[in-house]
Amino acid sequence: MSTDNQKLFSGALVSDAIKESFTKLNPKAMIKNPVMFCVEIGTVIMLVVTVLSTFMQNDSLGLAGYNLLITFILFLTVIFANFAEAIAEARGKAQADTLRKTRKDTRAKKLHNVKEAVNDAKYTEVPSSELRKGDLYLCEPGDIIPADGEIIEGLASIDEAAITGESAPVIREAGTDRDSVIGGTKVLSDRIIVKVTADPGSSFLDKMISLVEGANRQKTPNEIALTILLSSFTLIFLIVTVTLQPFADYANTPISIAALISLFVCLIPTTIGGLLSAIGIAGMDRALRANIIAKSGKAVETAGDIDTLLLDKTGTITIGNREATELVPLNGNEEMEFIQLCLISSLSDNTPEGKSIVALARKKLGANLKTDKAHPMLRGAEFIGFSAETRMSGVNLSNGSQIRKGAWDAIKKWGTQSSETDKNFLGERINEIANNGGTPLALAVDHKILGVIRLEDIIKPGISERFTRLRKMGVKTVMVTGDNPLTAKFIAEQAGVDDFIAEARPEDKMQYIKGEQAQGKLVAMMGDGTNDAPGLAQADVGVAMNSGTQAAKEAANMVDLDNDPTKLIEVVEIGKQLLITRGNVTTFSIANDVAKYFAIVPALFVVAIPGMEALNIMKLASPETAILSAVIFNAIIIPFLIPLALRGVKYRPVGAATLLTRNLLLYGLGGIIVPFLGIKAIDQIVNLFI
């Protein structure tokens, strides 16, 4: 996102967009934007008036040269608006094209036997565009995956850098929650057989591309409502302009057609009318730049309204896995021996917890001791893996002594040689750890318990600030975890989430979502597994990880290419930003009318009613330049605001009332003041030439 600013108007995009701005003049396309369509009609009328005024002279036709100038500026107004839309589209398309480019000209090894996957099945090479949903294809190391699909046999490491920008390869395996592959990514090792999940043209990426391409773009509900409001403002000012003619006749103040049309075009909300679709497209584009593929514009808009966020604890709130943070021996004076034993018990333990115990022990013991697998005590030792039955792991040393570590109740049972006093003493330590959000383990040697190990969740740095930010936006955060309620509560408090679901099963999530929705709340969740699919479908905004199963991706309305669980927070901000940009530009556009009135109305009447000069508070030079300046301002404000429309107004989570006050001052009051200054300045410049 940081490189955005430089790329806003690159040369190729601009020249494409300029061409497109003229194509868009087609009335059939223009009518979708009622405000700008009215300007186009105004331009055509002015063109006719200009032609007529070269042959005839009267009050309502006016001077040909002046008419031509007004016609030209109105035409520019339409072109500017079209350009705004075109450049937004071009940017979105460019972004999508870089994603799409990867999948061109790929050869697919299509398998003949469609019914089942056989490892040595015959295949023919076909272009990837010929693959249809349900087809099977084979991928071997070095192959580019020709189409989105799910692995039905095999396991492979895949380089997804083309899509996600992440260079570390990922593992995809059949029959797991990580069985889906994306077209354009590259297989690094192993053979997989993949079933195609989408016809060409209807993959997620294709859906996203259609959201940024103007022609087929569906307006979002809020955009439709805003268009209605803008159309009605246009209608009001149409009435104002049309009825002004008889009023002026009555008052004996003839008004030229050029002045009437200028008044009309200045009053109708052309600024927001011209930028509305650009803002919408840019919103989709921002999502795409954040590597989120939204399946509909509505989903992005809804994201701004989210009341409740369900976040998985692991990966979102805490860093991956638990870490050992403390080793507590039974007897304080045997600490070094205890740490040694912890180390030995874990050297062959490849679980993240085991590794973190090794790391901690290493730190405590210092570098002078042997701390790797070549440890003398491990010679000839037998490693005992963790099993759900015993809930312990450990080693049997060659000297016959047995070391075990595991859950407290398992070790307590195994530790038959320990006295009750020792067990009670250690039990208290265990409770203390559990009550403080940690996970306790115990260590015993030869059925004698020697101490306990504290494992803790490490909360991601900066995450609680993000939750504070969300709270200010009015979003409630809910942590979902498989931990017991005690641990969950502790972590929830530490991280600053508002609520948590402990010992969560997929159906608990579903239940929670339904409960929130019954209160009228909008819920967002992220998920990857097949068992998350119902929740993703039920949630108002469901974001599936790209590495997730096909079912999850189908059920969700957005897919995150980065597989980043914190992405939900960004999604909410993108949605809000979209709405705020729309609201602020609307306010700005309407507020501009005040200054335009003060420019044009005195200009219309001042010849017949000299007293009207008092309303000319900007002291514009002449009626002609006043009208001209207003129309010019009205036209050029559109390109001036294109960067704002494309980047979006920055969202600051400061609470609704403060945000409203702030935006009102900036875009409401600013919208009143800026055109006064702008029109005055343009008037000065115009006078240099006249």
Quote the tokens at residue 659.
């945000």
| Distance between CA atoms of residues 49 and 56, nearest Å | 10
Q: How far apart are CA 201 and CA 641, in angstroms?
A: 34
Decide: is 127 part of the binding site for another protein (CB under 8 A).
no
Candidate residues 21, 270, 586, 625; the one interacting with another protein per rule CB under 8 A: 586
Nearest by Cα to 645 from 224, 276, 299: 276
Binding string to another protein for residues 602 to 631, with x set by CB under 8 A, is what?
--xx---x-xx-xx----------------
Residue 545: partners with Cβ closer than 8 Å, 6 or more residues away: 526, 527, 528, 552, 559, 560, 563, 565
**What single letter denotes the amino acid at residue 408?**
W
Judged by CB, which is closer to another protein: 221, or 352?
Answer: 221
Among 240, 434, 486, 621, binds another protein (CB under 8 A): 240
CB 129 within 8 A of CB 171: no
| CB of residue 660 to another protein, shortest distance in Å | 4
- What one-character DSSP code corresponds to residue 256? -
| Joined tokens for residue 647 | 């980047």
The catalytic residue among 135, 143, 312, 540 is 312
Q: How far apart are CA 436 and CA 444, in angstroms?
A: 23
Alpha carbon distance 564, 186 (integer Å) = 20
Over the window 637 to 666, marking each residue x when it contacts another protein by CB under 8 A and - when it does not, the resulting string is --------------x---xxx-xxx-xx--
Residue 579 lies near another protein (rule: CB under 8 A)? yes
**Segment near another protein (CB under 8 A); pick from 155-163, 218-226, 322-330, 549-557:** 218-226
State which of residues 315, 427, 668, 670 lies at the interface with another protein (CB under 8 A).
668
Which of these ranges, 287-295, 336-344, 349-357, 598-606, lies near another protein under the rule CB under 8 A? 598-606
According to CB under 8 A, which one of 52, 407, 434, 601 is a site residue for another protein?
Answer: 601
Which residue, among 664, 655, 646, has the nearest Cα to 583 in the 3D structure? 664
> Does 239 sit near another protein (CB under 8 A)?
yes
Least distance to another protein, CB of residue 541, Å: 13
Inter-residue contact 298 to 515 (CB < 8 Å): no
Residue 232 binding another protein, by CB under 8 A: yes
Find the binder of another protein among 75, 83, 237, 676 (CB under 8 A). 237
The Cα 62–Cα 607 span in angstroms is 14
Q: Hey, is 449 helix, strand or coil?
A: strand
- CA-to-CA dists, residue 564 to 3, 178, 386, 602, angstroms: 20, 14, 30, 59
Q: What is the chain's length?
A: 690
Under rule CB under 8 A, residue 236 binds another protein: yes
Asked whether the CA dihedral 140, 145, 146, 152 is positive or negative, the reply is positive
Q: Is 290 in the site for another protein (CB under 8 A)?
A: no
Is residue 301 close enough to count as binding another protein by CB under 8 A?
yes
**What is the C-alpha separation between 151 and 27, in angstroms, rounded?**
48
Q: Which amino acid is at 394?
A: G
In 3D, which of 566, 531, 675 has the Cα closest to residue 617? 675
570 contacts another protein (rule: CB under 8 A) = no
Helix %, strand %, coil % for the chain, to 5?
A: 55, 15, 30
Site for another protein contains 41 (CB under 8 A): no
- 312 in catalytic set: yes
Q: Is 465 in the site for another protein (CB under 8 A)?
A: no
d(CA 438, CA 560): 31
Among residue numbers 370 through 409, which ones bind another protein (CB under 8 A)?
none
Taking CB under 8 A as the rule, does residue 286 contact another protein?
Answer: no
Which helix H or strand E contains 3, and what residues bound it? none
Residue 336 within binding range of another protein, rule CB under 8 A? no
Binders of another protein among residues 467 to 486 (CB under 8 A) are 471-476
3-state secondary structure of 351: coil
- Return the residue of 31, 51, 114, 228 that touches another protein, per CB under 8 A: 228
For position 667 contacting another protein by CB under 8 A, the verdict is: yes
Of 47-55, 85-93, 245-253, 453-461: span binding another protein (CB under 8 A): 245-253
Residue placing its CB nearer to another protein in the complex, 345 or 663: 663
When binding is defined by CB under 8 A, the residue of 247, 409, 468, 505 that contacts another protein is 247
Which one of 137-145, 299-307, 334-342, 377-385 is the stretch in contact with another protein (CB under 8 A)?
A: 299-307
The residue among 133 and 472 lying less far from another protein, judged by its C-beta, is 472
Closer to another protein at the Cβ: 308 or 625? 308
**x/- letters, 508..547, toward another protein (CB under 8 A):** -----------xxxx-------------------------
Which residue type sits at 149? G
Provide the annotated active-site residues.
Answer: 312
